[in-house]
Structure 1
Amino acid sequence: MKKNNELCSDIEYCTQSNTEAMTSLGDDPRQHFLTPILQEDRRLMTLFFLMKVGGYQTNDHVLYDALELIGHCVSWDILHSELAWLDQQGIVRLRDADSDIKVIELTRSGMDVAKGRKLIDGVRRPHPEEVNNWKFDELA
């Protein structure tokens, strides 16, 4: 039996076997096979955004809106889960600004990952042209 976090090549199998677990999370079971791809890209886009903002830091509210601009519309739970994972990897540093706002800061290790100098399982490796040509401000 396949584990839930494995990439499924058989969408029908994944849909049938994981419907109950995924429905409880609010996910569409038909999109399960895309989950790792979207997750890796969302993590890289977070690092790219942090690379482009002044001081290499922002808050979770700004990041939430920025990710939505590039097609990563996720719940607050997923965003905070992703940020906690990035923090555990040492790619970002998280701190509470107040009870409702978290500040996210890019670390040196995170900069290396964003520039493709360091590989971390779970974060998409950028294409060479992405590193220098990616401009978040053009999306607004």
Structure 2
Amino acid sequence: MTEPLGQLLEFRLGGERYCIDIAYIDEIVNMDEIRSLPTAPEHVVGVTDLRGRTTTVIDPSVVLDVDYDSDRSHIVVLDTDELTESDGAVGWLVEDVRQVITASEDDLERTSTMDNTPVSGVITSDTEFIVQLDPCTIAT
């Protein structure tokens, strides 16, 4: 019997398909005003206020070295309790949130194990690849 991976949120960056386990997701919001932080690392876009909660917005395309052409209009807010010991919220700025997919271990081809790589593996779906990301390596 095939072991289930579970449900994964599919989204786009640079026109490519990516996904993360929905267990790491707190909510998805439309992008609002983001204030930049002058001394922040390159992958940190800035911060935004989500219902009184300061949320650090990260650009995963910088970490993944992905070029993008279209506007990024959604923030995938991660459940930081699952990721770090930090109290602050973290969100990823993405182009488009597509759908929730269900995958099994048979669908996933694990990538070579390199320390601190954000890629967990690749899922083949509808003759396209969906790159599964490990949010723990991109969260902060």
TM-score normalised by structure 1 residue count: 0.23
Larger Rg: 1
Q: Which has the higher contact order (CA 8 A, sep 6+)?
A: 2
TM-score, with length taken from structure 2: 0.23
